[in-house]
Amino acid sequence: MSDAAASAGAATLLDVRNLSVRFRTRDGIVHAVSDLSFALRRGETLGVVGESGSGKSVSSLAVMGLLNRAYAEIDGEILFEGQDLLKLSPDELRRVRGRDISMIFQDPFACLHPMYRVGWQLAEAVRAHEDVSRQAAWDRAVELLSAVGIPNAKARARDYPHQFSGGMRQRAMIAMALVHNPDVLIADEPTTALDVTVQAQILELIDRVKKEFDIGVILITHDLGVVAETATHVMVMYAGRAMEYGPAQEIFNAAQNPYTWGLLESMPTVEKRLDVLVPIEGSPPSLLRPPPGCPFHPRCKYRFAPCDVKRPPLEPIPGGHPDACHLPPERKREIWNTRVGAELGVTA
């Protein structure tokens, strides 16, 4: 068990334990998420990082109860304020959704209903959990739109989504998620579909909202740069498993896992020129037939004897944080200090 789960206490909002999600398909069982554990406290931003298909979105949809249980087999525990969400009836879960835990998604245009006014959609979210008049709900919608930085919110609430820009749509989505002062906000790639200039604004907004509303944020992204801006903790996922999990500071200053190294090396920064970027060769494994041993070993530069037979457990190293790799801790530090970290200009 990780230190995060061990330190789970009263302040813990969300405590996910040994979550596994499998989909039965015609071709076999897809192991979308395997044995995933993490925790989220008030005021924290947990950055979940990984390539497409690493199970980031599926695990967050599982937390929201948005996976169709007829097709998805979910094991483990998702404790929200001590209550296992997986044991709730669909109707009880519906009452948690949008009130205690809310979510924003990647493509803000596709996520707003094209045929209803933005204000109407927010007011509907208000009335989903609160018995107030239409007018009161509408007023609250306008207030929230203005709170997330939409100018002239009173008039803009009457607009349809297609009259909003991408950034404004995402602001509206954030406003919609905040309607009931939730405890947890899950943001699934909230900036991926936006212009670079708008990305920073949205990230700032999410961070501001986290502080103002005193909530916990799960920020899902494939971009370590996005995580670097705001996350307090980082979980790196690969093939449905956590590869490395710890405080953001440690991940960026002393990453322990070869997969995280690969992500860091392939991340473009202002200083780095394109020819210095090192891509991770190969592509993620099929989740229908995950490789034996460490899921990353076929692509790993540092693999050795046990990697293709024995799966490394997610365990903390002395003086560090949990990660899943067979390399001895001293060797990890050495590689970081002499190669990856040195290249990035940070050493432990």
Partner 1 sequence: MLIYVARRLLWTIVVVLAVLFVTFLVFFKLPNGDPAVRFAGKSPTDEQLELIRHRMHLDKPFYVEFGYFVKNFVSGDEFGWPGLGYSYGTFTSVRKLVVERAPRTLWLIAGAATLWLTFGVAIGVLSAVKRRTIFDRLAMGFALFGISAPVFWLGLMALFIFWKTLHLTGGSGYEPLSDGVGHWASHLILPWCVLALLYMAIYARMTRNNLLETLGEDYIRTARAKGLSERRVIFRHGLRASLTPIVTLFGLDIALLVGGAIITESVFNLQGLGYLAINGALTQDLPTVLGVVICTATAVALMNLVVDIVYAFIDPRVRYA
Site string for partner 1, 146-175 (x = CB under 8 A): --------------x-xx---------x--
Half-sphere exposure of 107 (CA within 13 A, CB side): 6
Asked whether position 95 contacts partner 1 by CB under 8 A, the answer is: yes
Residues 58/32, Cβ–Cβ less than 8 Å: yes
Burial class (CB in 10 A: 0-12, 13-18, 19+), 209: buried
Scanning 4-12, 92-100, 310-318, 325-333 for contacts with partner 1 by CB under 8 A, the matching segment is 92-100
- CA dist 282 and 262 (Å) reads 12
Q: Does 112 bind partner 1 (CB under 8 A)?
A: yes
Contacting partner 1 (CB under 8 A), which of 12, 59, 102, 199?
102
Structure tokens at 17: 């334990």
Query: Toward partner 1, which CB reaches closer, 181 or 266?
Result: 181
Compare residues 90 and 345 and give the one whose CB is closer to partner 1: 90
Q: Which residue in 34, 20, 122, 123 sits closest to 73, CA to CA?
A: 20
Candidates 195, 316, 160; CA nearest to 250 is 316
Residue 125 binding partner 1, by CB under 8 A = yes
Span interacting with partner 1, options 124-132, 147-155, 221-229, 284-292, rule CB under 8 A: 124-132
Q: Tell me the C-alpha distance between 201 and 196, whole Å.
A: 9
Q: Find the binder of partner 1 among 128, 228, 267, 278 (CB under 8 A).
A: 128
Tell me which stretch binds partner 1 (CB under 8 A): 28-36, 125-133, 224-232, 304-312.
125-133
- Tell me the window of 28-36, 103-111, 139-147, 279-287 that interacts with partner 1 (CB under 8 A): 103-111
Contact residues for 39 (Cβ-Cβ < 8 A; gap 6+) = 4, 5, 7, 8, 12, 14, 15, 16
> How many angstroms from the chain centroid is the CA of residue 240?
13
Which value, in Å, is the radius of gyration of the alpha carbons in the chain?
Answer: 21
99 belongs to the binding site for partner 1 (CB under 8 A): yes
Q: Which residues bind partner 1 (CB under 8 A)?
A: 64, 66, 90, 94-99, 102-103, 105, 107, 110-117, 124-125, 128-129, 160, 162-163, 173, 176
